[in-house]
Chains A and B, each alone.
Chain A
Amino acid sequence: MRGPVVALSRRLFGAVRDLAPIIVVIAFFQIVVLQQPFPNLGSVLVGLVCVVLGLTLFIQGLETGLFPLGEAIAHAFARKGSVAALLAFGFCLGFGTTVAEPALIAIAAEAADVASGAGVVADDDAAREAYAFNLRMVVALAVGTAITLGVLRILKGWPIHVLIIGGYLLVTAMTAFAPDEIVGVAYDSGGVATSTITVPLVTALGVGLATSLNGRNPMVDGFGLIAFACLTPMIFVLGYGMVV
């Protein structure tokens, strides 16, 4: 019984350590700089206990659930050897995890407001909703494409920097031609596409693939899927802004 207890208390301590900087920063600015008392200290403390327990459980689950699952899938696909099935899986994973992402829904709605303010979209709810929906689909397609491309890169061993730098150059060039009001939205959409559950799964998939394929190195080839998932939404959204 002692082993699990020790492991759990170590994880709890780790979670406290991970959260200590936020608590210190907020307390410092609240007490020293703004010189205000904490509102509802009781509920803040309850919340902090939840955060610590939640982070502890999450990391526990990463190591027993998400990482092994990502690796198991990677090994199964590598053994099966069907490139088409693997690429289809990558696309579905990227598209499916992005399309329902709450952060993306929020940013798409805001972007629709900006666009109707700028007169790109008609100033009524139906037009705004349609714009926001299209934007979400565009970003989800972009992430699906990104994972497909990223998996293909791992299979072929292409150097990542050529693709990513090429993508950045494309973004730079498109920024010059895209309407101003879409630029901020496009840049931000790169960051929202990667959720807390997708990242560990996709990372484990990439590293697992690179580990099980001959001639691939987990550090050189395994990472990078997230980078693609951040880049392609910018390109796709800028493109969407130029077309609409």
Chain B
Amino acid sequence: MKINDKILVAFLVSAGLFSLLQAGQYVKTLSAKEKRALLSVQKVVPQIKMVCESPDIQFTGNNKKTA
């Protein structure tokens, strides 16, 4: 696995979007263009969190203050 693929896997797993296995499987399905697009998101917004609950119903924000 190339370094950028590993970065994407780490991003997807840390965000809770997929398990490690699922993230690896998902990244394999992406084209080079799609990988670049997702990497660019990771650079701009490195911290994203997946919520299993339905956040339409449950507030999911943390205490991080925006400035």
**Do A and B interact?**
no
